[in-house]
Amino acid sequence: MSKTEEQTTAGQGAPTDPDNVHIGIFDANGVFRHKKVSGAKAAKLAKTGGPFCDILYSWDTNEVPQETGAFIDRPTVIDPASMRAYPFAENDALAISDFVQPFGAKSARNQAQAMVERAAKAGFTVHAAFEFEFTVMDETPRTLRQKGFRGLDHFAEGNRTYSLQTEALHHDLLADFEAMMTRLGITLDAMHTELGPGFFEAPLMHAEGLKAADDAALFKNFAKAFFLREGLTAAFMAKLSPDLPGQSGHLHMSLRKDGAPAFADTTAEHGLSENARYFIGGVVTLMPEMLALCSHTVNAYKRMVPGAWAPTWASWGVQNRTAALRVINDDPAATRIEFRVPAADTNPFAAYAMCLGAGMYGIENCIVPPAPEAGDCYAVDAAGALKFPRTLADAADRLEASQAAREIFGDDFVDTFVKLRRYEVAAHNAQVGAWELERYLEVV
């Protein structure tokens, strides 16, 4: 690799002359699928692109193909802005690749990038950050299977919310985790314990453009890898147990224009600009019909139920943590929305594309939001179009019928996404779980 090529591709702390480059592509569920190649081969692929098998958009979360076909290699292109250090080797780098068009229309990452470009055409830059709740379990892939994923042991059993004791006891492990993320080019804005054994929250530092979604997706994948190296398992499921809180994956987002915050207007009600109100109007209006994009698993809908500290309908409010969309306006320079619907299991690219796409749709169509909710949104029995679909099957139907989603993302993406969600529903419906056996076996 020449010095010019090194300077072009190296970024976010990536070595300028890496021994190897881990080139990865995100599948339909946000899982990072990668190949390790030499630095010399990576330099070649940076110019020519390289192939990945198109099965990534034909299999379910258990890697079972849901259709027949030749499963051919499709061309991909490396995103040079995504280059960063690979955290588990001293002189290795990591780069994100994605399918080129027309097949690339199926990719949620490509859709997120398209929404960033859509905002740019209107004169906006996008700033965003995810925050994830996750649970660390004292289990390995082998013990999970030996126990049949039942009766699992948690890390930090005596954990409490904002626990000094948990941090003090496990300081070295958590410090190593944060250092690994820093080497990966991901900065944690904070990290603290939450309510429940082994339960943590990690808000990420905001970033401009697609980097925010890249950071979020890599955070989840590399958190799992880090804790596996320690003999532990990091779980990002929306709901692990009816006895435990749900796990969220909230998204903070704002727009800027000419370097100034585009959501702030100190002379207007709640300090919100007209663009902010239209953005909110778009997200609130389209949230129910596009819910599957940010809540793409069967398990996600176990969290969005009354009493589970998660939204169940399309609401918004100023500083209201019970709303689906929370406006944070205590500092005009940092005025933003917090999209509180996604769970920790969300595909960050799909959630990002959904929120930004719906918000830009609101700005483009001057959608005025309903009045903000000042009280407890959990106590409101919302009616009609504001209510969320109750199951993934219903959400897939709503997304398929959404003309706005098709206008924003195109038929190919929507149809592929809906098809994969229906495969997931069919796999779930074919199972007989412990709850059913315990409830019905001796009675009916």
Q: For residues 427 and 29, give the distance between their C-alpha atoms in angstroms, rounded to a whole number.
A: 15
Residue with the bigger pLDDT between 342 and 69: it is 342
Q: What is the mean pLDDT of residues 402-410?
A: 98
Residue 102 preceded by cis peptide, ω within 30: yes
Beta bridge partners of 326: 317, 338
For residue 377, the 8-state DSSP code is G
| Total domains in the fold of the chain | 2
Residues 80 and 181 in one domain: no
Q: Name the domain boundary from 66, 100, 134.
A: 100
Name the percent of the chain lying above pLDDT 70.
97
Residues 64 and 132 in one domain: no
Residue 381's pLDDT band (cuts 50, 70, 90): confident
Phi then psi dihedrals of residue 388, to 5 deg: -80, 150
Q: What is the mean pLDDT of residues 364-389?
A: 93
* Domain presence at residue 216: yes
* Domain presence at residue 31: yes
For residue 386, the 8-state DSSP code is G
Q: What is the mean pLDDT of residues 249-267?
A: 97
Question: Do strands 32-38 and 20-26 pair parallel, antiparallel, or not at all (unpaired)?
Answer: antiparallel
Which structural domain, as residue segments, surrounds residue 158? 116-439
* Domain presence at residue 111: no
User: Which of 406, 249, 297 minimizes the C-alpha distance to 29?
Assistant: 297
User: Which of 166, 135, 167 minimizes the C-alpha distance to 153?
Assistant: 135
Residues 175 and 276 in one domain: yes
Q: For residues 127 and 253, give the distance between their C-alpha atoms in angstroms, rounded to a whole number.
A: 6
Residues 83 and 167 in one domain: no
- Quote the pLDDT of residue 60: 83
Whether the Cβ atoms of residue 288 and residue 398 lie closer than 8 Å to each other = yes
Residues 22 and 125 in one domain: no
- Quote the pLDDT of residue 11: 52
Q: Name the domain boundary from 100, 130, 159.
A: 100
Side-chain half-sphere CA neighbours of 167 within 13 A? 13
- For residue 131, give Cα distances in angstroms to 40, 116, 400: 36, 20, 29
Neighbours of 439 (CB within 10 A): 11
Mean pLDDT lowest among 62-66, 126-130, 392-396, 432-436: 62-66
Q: For residues 315 and 297, give the distance between their C-alpha atoms in angstroms, rounded to a whole number.
A: 22
DSSP three-state, residue 158 = coil
Q: What is the mean pLDDT of residues 367-379?
A: 95
Q: What is the mean pLDDT of residues 396-420?
A: 98
Residues 384 and 306 in one domain: yes
Residues 23 and 159 in one domain: no
Side-chain half-sphere CA neighbours of 346 within 13 A? 32
* Domain presence at residue 110: no
Phi then psi dihedrals of residue 422, to 5 deg: -70, -35
For residue 403, give the CATH number of its domain. 3.30.590.10
Residues 205 and 78 in one domain: no
* Domain presence at residue 109: no
105-135 pLDDT tens trace: 999 999 999 999 999 999 999 999 999 999 9
20-42 pLDDT tens trace: 999 999 999 999 999 999 999 99
* Domain presence at residue 251: yes
Q: For residues 129 and 203, give the distance between their C-alpha atoms in angstroms, rounded to a whole number.
A: 8
- Whether 365 shows a pLDDT value over 90: the answer reads yes
* Domain presence at residue 105: no
Mean pLDDT lowest among 45-54, 55-64, 311-320, 418-427: 55-64
- Quote the pLDDT of residue 9: 40
42-101 pLDDT tens trace: 999 999 988 999 999 988 888 888 888 899 999 999 999 999 999 999 999 999 999 999
Q: What is the mean pLDDT of residues 347-374?
A: 98
Residues 15 and 94 in one domain: yes
Q: Name the domain boundary from 47, 73, 100.
A: 100
Note the maximum CA span of the chain: 74
- Quote the pLDDT of residue 69: 85
Residues 65 and 131 in one domain: no
DSSP three-state, residue 337 = strand
Neighbours of 208 (CB within 10 A): 12
Q: What is the mean pLDDT of residues 244-260?
A: 96
Residue 4's pLDDT band (cuts 50, 70, 90): very low
* Domain presence at residue 108: no
Residue 7's pLDDT band (cuts 50, 70, 90): very low
Phi then psi dihedrals of residue 331, to 5 deg: -135, 115
- Quote the pLDDT of residue 306: 82
Residue with the bigger pLDDT between 291 and 307: it is 291
Residues 298 and 433 in one domain: yes
Residues 22 and 126 in one domain: no
The average confidence (pLDDT) of the chain is 94
For residue 68, give the CATH number of its domain. 3.10.20.70
- Quote the pLDDT of residue 5: 41
Whether the Cβ atoms of residue 370 and residue 314 lie closer than 8 Å to each other = no
User: Which of 116, 92, 234, 249 minimizes the C-alpha distance to 173?
Assistant: 234
Question: Do strands 20-26 and 92-99 pair parallel, antiparallel, or not at all (unpaired)?
Answer: parallel
